[in-house]
Amino acid sequence: MNDVMQTHWLFFDLDGTLADSLPGLHASIAEALHRGGRVLRVDDLKPYIGPGIRTIFKNLEDDLTESELDEMERCFRASYDASGVRNTLLFEGVKQTLETLKADGAELFLVTNKPKLATANLMEQHGITWLFTEMQSRNSREPAYGSKGEMLLELVERRGVDLARAVMVGDTAEDHHAAVDAGMKFVFAGYGYGELDDAVECIRLTQFAELAQMLKLD
């Protein structure tokens, strides 16, 4: 893949790409497990972050019943919406780079598994909501989107995106699969939470600010 990509539409994942949400997630996940009579048995949650919270709980405790998952999800949401989201920071260079891209004419979109309320609170907290043309979460509609790929495809079709000039930026294999399914180029945030096979052909960031140097906006 060429080192410089012609683009106009940029789609971003949130957790692990724009925001370091691990501290807040760690505290709220541990609290929800404790209230359910469990304990957080891993020191590093980083490999678990990315999918929805129910999937995270299932991966941490594979014998949870649906009712236990319901209660843990409820406890997590209450904790995270009240306090966890306030412990989330943007990665270095994110705000400045997004502002530069916006000023240069790019259209920015957010596609995240984080629920709508927590997403809105986080974006407002850091003063970057205005930079995005639209922000999509799993529960941005009813019924909820089944996957991040479904969210991305719906945005592409509704917004009339030229896929030849569109890029998805994310930190997980799920983000890569969503980009592939939509037919757009992918940039991997290598500083984030996920992993991507070295054989996958894409541009890889070691820090977010590098993104502006890799794009030719039109």
Beta-strand ranges (E) seen in 21-119 are 89-90, 107-112
Mean pLDDT (whole number) for 171-198 = 93
> Do 83 and 94 fall into the same domain?
no
> Do 29 and 44 fall into the same domain?
yes
pLDDT (tens digit, 9 = 90+) per residue, 96-114?
A: 999 999 999 999 999 999 8
Which has the higher per-residue pLDDT, 111 or 117? 111
Domain final residue pick, 87, 103, 129: 87
> Do 93 and 190 fall into the same domain?
yes
Q: What is the CATH number of the domain that holds 201?
A: 3.40.50.1000
Residue range of the domain that includes 34:
22-87
> Do 134 and 47 fall into the same domain?
no
Domain count for the chain: 2
Domain final residue pick, 68, 87, 106: 87
Domain final residue pick, 87, 108, 138: 87
State how far the Cα of 126 lies from the Cα of 89, in Å rounded to an integer.
8
> Do 9 and 102 fall into the same domain?
yes
State how far the Cα of 25 lies from the Cα of 46, in Å rounded to an integer.
10
> Do 121 and 39 fall into the same domain?
no
DSSP per position, 31-55: HHHHHTT-----S--GGG-SS-HHH
> Do 119 and 39 fall into the same domain?
no
pLDDT (tens digit, 9 = 90+) per residue, 147-157?
A: 999 999 999 99
State how far the Cα of 185 lies from the Cα of 155, in Å rounded to an integer.
15
* Confidence check: pLDDT of 63 > 70: yes
CA distances from 61 to 23, 25, 36 (A): 20, 16, 11
Q: What is the CATH number of the domain that holds 66?
A: 1.10.150
